[in-house]
């Protein structure tokens, strides 16, 4: 049985029964960056096409699950408030908001690892 984090999983193991693995945010397991529970809750609130049963995986295309330009701005504002950070010009790109992993990586860089 493969271990997984409560908030992300390795690619390719969908459908495999897993036991939860407690992990610290920012820890990399199987090449996947794990995020904290707050991040998943805030992100899911902006993904109308992602059901509760769907797993939020690191490479999920956010646009395909309903993250539009208005949702990006709302998410940006909530993330800035929740994590006490500011999205500088270098992070205000569509690439930042492509996947949960790319977004969490930007947050980790902005916080200089203080979330770990």
pLDDT (0 to 100) of residue 20: 38
Please compute Rg for the chain using Cα positions. 14
For 26-83, write each residue's pLDDT tens digit. Answer: 545 555 557 999 999 999 999 999 999 999 999 999 999 999 999 999 999 999 999 9
Cβ–Cβ under 8 Å, residues 103 and 36: no
Cβ–Cβ under 8 Å, residues 30 and 44: no
> Which CATH number applies to 3-110?
1.10.1200.10
Can you say how many angstroms the Cα of residue 5 is from the centroid of all Cα atoms in its chain?
A: 12
Would you list the domain boundaries of the chain? 3-110
In the three-class reduction of DSSP (H, G, I as helix; E, B as strand; rest coil), residue 21 is classed as strand
Give pTM, 2 decimals.
0.70
**pLDDT (mean) for 74-93:** 94
């Amino acid at each position: 049985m493969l271990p997984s984090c409560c908030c992300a999983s390795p690619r390719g193991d969908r459908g495999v029964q897993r036991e939860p693995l407690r992990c610290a945010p920012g820890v990399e397991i199987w090449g996947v960056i794990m995020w904290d529970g707050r991040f998943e809750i805030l992100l899911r609130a902006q993904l109308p096409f992602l059901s509760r049963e769907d797993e939020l995986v690191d490479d999920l295309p956010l646009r395909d699950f309903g993250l539009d330009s208005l949702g990006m701005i709302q998410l940006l504002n909530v993330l800035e408030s929740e994590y006490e950070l500011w999205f500088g010009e270098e992070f205000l790109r569509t690439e930042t908001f492509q996947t949960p992993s790319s977004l969490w990586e930007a947050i980790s860089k902005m916080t200089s690892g203080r979330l770990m």
